[in-house]
Amino acid sequence: MVYYSFLDWENNRLEFERVDVSEPASISSGIAARYATAVFELSKDAKGLKALETDIDAMSAALNKSGDLRTLISSPLYSRAEQSKAINAVAKKMKLSETTINTLALMASKRRLFVVPQLIESLRAKIAEEKGEVTANVVSAKALTKAQSEKLSKTLSASFEVDVKIIATVDETIIGGLIVKVGSKMIDTSVKSKLNALQNTMKEAR
């Protein structure tokens, strides 16, 4: 199957180019990266990176809280028209920037909303790089308090010798502890991980 996606720089708008997406495993990351590059450059040229950062924080929080929203962007049962109408209403209610609203509308019309989580991740990385920051994806069994998040950010910043921004998500299945991923490095102190390790050790001892 073939899709199209690129930015018409001269006319300052999103358009499409031929892209081979025959490999399923690379579809989401490839499409998301192209949209992210286009949106980032548009926002940067319009001096709207701060607004874009606010938008992706809001979208990320909404996706974490709303199962209905996650279903909306991923379910093939919704038609293009239904997805477009719903995501437009959600975006306006969240008071997202015009660039982000237009991008989501375009993605809905092309049935690309399923890559929104990857789009957010890619945009976070681009914004962090622009600001000289590093993002740390932190998974915890319960939501981190502001004090916990700030303390963890300071600890990681000292360890990596660069400003680290915490991107926190909740996963109750890890039971306790944290899973921290910074770039290619991952620190897993979750109770689930320790239990799995113990279980494997017990199997080897038999």
Task: Specify the higher pLDDT residue, 162 or 69.
Answer: 69
pLDDT for res 26 = 62
Q: How confident is the model at residue 83 (pLDDT cuts 50, 70, 90)?
A: very high
Does residue 167 surpass a pLDDT of 50?
yes
User: How confident is the model at residue 132, as a pLDDT?
Assistant: 85
Residues 6+ apart with CB under 8 A from 7: 13, 14, 15, 37, 38, 41, 42
Tokens representing 36 are 């992210």
Range of the domain at 194: 132-205
Same structural domain, 99 and 149: no
Confidence category of residue 15, pLDDT binned at 50, 70, 90: very low
Encode burial over 87-105: b for 16+ CB neighbours within 10 A, e otherwise: beebbeeeebbebbbbbbb
Only one residue has tokens 């938008």, namely 55
Is residue 109 located within the same domain as residue 17? yes
Residue 190: is its pLDDT beyond 60? yes
- Please indicate, yes or no, whether residues 36 and 69 belong to a single structural domain of this protein: yes
Q: Report the CATH number that the domain containing residue 69 is assigned in CATH.
A: 1.10.520.20
User: Both 160 and 194 in a single domain?
Assistant: yes
Q: Distance between CA atoms of 157 and 42, rounded to whole angstroms? A: 30
Eight-class DSSP state of 144:
P
Q: Do residues 181 and 136 make contact, with C-beta atoms less than 8 angstroms apart? A: yes
Q: Examine the fold and report which residue of 97, 127, 157 is the final residue of a domain before the chain moves on.
A: 127
Provide the pLDDT for residue 205. 64
Lowest mean pLDDT among 48-52, 157-161, 182-186, 202-206: 202-206
Residues 117 and 148 in one domain: no
Number of domains making up the chain: 2
Same domain flag for 122 and 136: no
* pLDDT of amino acid 99: 94
Does 122 share its domain with 156? no
What mean pLDDT do residues 103-112 have?
A: 94
Verify that 119 and 20 share a domain, yes or no: yes
Same domain, 110 and 163: no
Mean per-residue pLDDT over the chain, rounded? 83
The residue with greater pLDDT, 135 or 119, is 119
**CATH code at 200?**
3.40.30
Both 143 and 199 in one domain: the answer is: yes
pLDDT tens by residue, 17-69: 344 433 344 677 888 999 999 999 999 999 999 999 999 999 999 998 899 99
Same domain, 67 and 136: no
Is the whole model's pTM more than 0.85, yes or no?
no
In percent, the amount of the chain with pLDDT more than 70 equals 86
pLDDT, average across residues 181-204: 81
Top-confidence residue, 155 or 26: 155
Residue where one domain finishes, among candidates 82, 98, 127: 127
* Together in a domain, 154 and 103: no
- Strand-pairing partners, residue 167, are 137
Residue 19: its pLDDT value, please?
40
Query: Which tokens in the block code for residue 142?
Result: 């319960």
- Domain-terminating residue out of 105, 127, 149: 127
